[in-house]
């Protein structure tokens, strides 16, 4: 079974600075997908970014980017120019195809952006 580990239960960053959240996973699969979701105080689960394992290029969405190291089974999220609205719980998630497959989540990292 796949496992996802987020070793940082809590992190904080000053507004406008950059922060990196860590995620490692364990799988014997070669083809899979990785996601970061954020859960703000409203508890809504919001997709931040997605990465296909077969793509070497790291995914980027505006201020959010990932560092995907397939051999090391590492998938970190970098948030640049942090904003107060980035304060949330961040979950790393793994999905193994075939089409329409469950997400396996890590324990989450609570990120606080300080003014």
Does position 9 bind other proteins by CB under 8 A?
A: no
Residues 50-89 that bind other proteins (CB under 8 A): 50, 52
Distance CA 84, CA 11 (A): 14
Figure out which of the listed residues 76, 78, 80, 105 binds other proteins, where binding follows CB under 8 A.
Answer: 105
Site string for other proteins, 19-38 (x = CB under 8 A): ------------xxx-x-x-
What is the three-class DSSP state of 45?
Answer: coil
In sequence order, the β-bridge partners of residue 88 are: 111
Only one of the segments 9-17, 19-27, 43-51, 80-88 lies at the binding site for other proteins (rule: CB under 8 A); that segment is 43-51
Between 13 and 64, CB nearer to other proteins: 64
Q: Are 88 and 39 in contact (CB under 8 A)?
A: yes
- Give the residue with the Cβ less far from other proteins, 68 or 82: 68
- CA distances to 4, 11, 31, 56, 87 from 109, rounded to whole Å, are 12, 7, 25, 25, 11
State both tokens at 24. 């490692």
Which residues of this chain interact with other proteins, rule CB under 8 A? 31-33, 35, 37, 42-47, 50, 52, 91, 95, 97-105, 107-108
């Amino acid at each position: 079974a796949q496992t996802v580990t987020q070793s940082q239960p809590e992190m904080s960053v000053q507004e406008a600075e950059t922060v990196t959240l860590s995620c490692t996973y364990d799988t014997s699969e070669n083809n899979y997908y990785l996601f970061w979701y954020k859960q703000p105080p409203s508890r809504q689960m919001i997709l931040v970014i997605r990465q296909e394992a077969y793509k070497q290029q790291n995914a980027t969405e505006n201020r959010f980017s990932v560092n995907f190291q397939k051999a090391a089974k590492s998938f970190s999220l970098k948030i640049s120019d942090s904003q107060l609205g980035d304060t949330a719980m961040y979950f790393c998630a793994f999905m193994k195809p075939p089409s329409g497959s469950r997400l396996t989540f890590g324990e989450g990292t609570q990120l606080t952006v300080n003014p």
